[in-house]
Amino acid sequence: MTTTGFVPPPYPQDRLSELLATADRLPGGVIDCSVGTPVDPMPEVVRRAFVEALPQATGYPPSIGTPALRGAAAGWIERRFGVSLPAEQVRACVGTKEAVAGLPHLLALRDPTRDTVLYPAISYPTYAMGAVLAGLRAVPVPVDDRWRLDLGGVDAPDAERSLVLWLNDPANPTGAGSSPEEMRAAVAWARDRGIIVASDECYAEFTANDAGEPAPPVTAMVLADPALMSRSAPRRSRWPTASARSLPASDRAAPAATCGRGARPRHRTSSRARS
Ligand SMILES: Cc1ncc(COP(=O)(O)O)c(C=O)c1O
């Protein structure tokens, strides 16, 4: 007897390569506007740290992350966002991509009663892929004419079945960033429906207001519990080849991310974090 097992969907980048080849055959060829891959040189301080660390880099580090790494991530989160989080609530992950792709599966193990993943209709493809790989429904949330999530466009039955809502702020590929009020509204919408907020904030250092001026980043972490956010130090500082991302989780979301538990994140009031 033969059965048809799970057939993985095509890898999004492979689909893109085909489209690029097709477009390239048209007059003028492709204009590649992608910004996802850092092209600037790796900062000297990072290069030096790699070289100095290599001689001790035998053996496996704990998969949850070394205390030093987790403490460093928690420290940066506090300095940058004004969110105080015990280091035990920060986990290392191999890549943000791997965390995004794997999270729905872990969340579904914890709550098998919900089978839907909500994600921005125009977004990084791994949100939908993570749902598919977990055998869940991937339901896109429409975006409005400013590329902001239009949560009013989610059908009530889909919302009821939703396990997790992906936010991506500022968003890839649209560049749209939320005001603190918009972030608060999105988080409240999810919380009212018992939906976990997973906020991919890996571009949090690249924030601008509607006039294009630099603006402080917003984070779902100050507002939501359960919440998870993804942080990508290599993406921020131009060393994407290394694996040093972190997945900080609020108190109730922490067990889903792995197994650590600590105190609920506390919001330190600071003008930087609030504006
Ligand atoms: C929105 C978004 N999230 C996550 C990632 C993955 O980042 P990492 O390099 O940390 O895996 C990317 C990479 O393009 C991205 O654009």
DSSP codes, 153-182: GS-HHHHHTEEEEEEESSPTTT-----HHH
CA–CA gap between residue 30 and residue 105 (Å, rounded): 36
Residues 141, 153 contacting (CB under 8 angstroms): yes
Give 260 or 35, the one with higher predicted confidence: 35
**Mean pLDDT of the 130-147 span:** 96
Q: pLDDT-derived band of residue 207, with 50, 70 and 90 as boundaries?
A: confident
- CB of 75 sitting under 6 A from ligand 1: no
Is the overall model pTM greater than 0.85, yes or no?
A: no
> Looking at 64-73, 164-173, 215-224, which range is the least confident one?
215-224
**Mean pLDDT of the 2-26 span:** 83
Residue among 37, 202, 241 to mutate when testing ligand 1 (max atoms within 8 A of CB): 202
Question: Cα dist. 247→36, 39, 45, 220, 270 in Å?
Answer: 20, 25, 24, 13, 23
pLDDT at site 30: 85
Question: Cα dist. 7→3, 117, 136 in Å?
Answer: 12, 19, 14
172 CA to middle of ligand 1, Å?
9
CA–CA gap between residue 128 and residue 132 (Å, rounded): 6
Determine which residue's CA is closest to atom 12 belonging to ligand 1. Answer: 97
- CB of 178 sitting under 6 A from ligand 1: no
The CATH number of 64-274 is 3.40.640.10
pLDDT at site 149: 95
Rg, Å, the chain Cα set: 19
> Looking at 63-77, 130-144, 145-159, 244-258, which range is the least confident one?
244-258
Residue 100 has pLDDT above 60, yes or no: yes
The average confidence (pLDDT) of the chain is 81
> Looking at 10-14, 254-258, 266-270, which range is the least confident one?
266-270
Give 126 or 38, the one with higher predicted confidence: 126
**Mean pLDDT of the 189-213 span:** 86
Phi, psi of 251 (to 5 degrees): -55, -50
**Mean pLDDT of the 43-52 span:** 88
Quote the percentage of the chain above a pLDDT of 70.
77
pLDDT at site 242: 53
Question: 48 is written with which tokens?
Answer: 């030096």
> Looking at 32-36, 115-119, 120-124, which range is the least confident one?
32-36
Matching residue, tokens 């949850």? 64
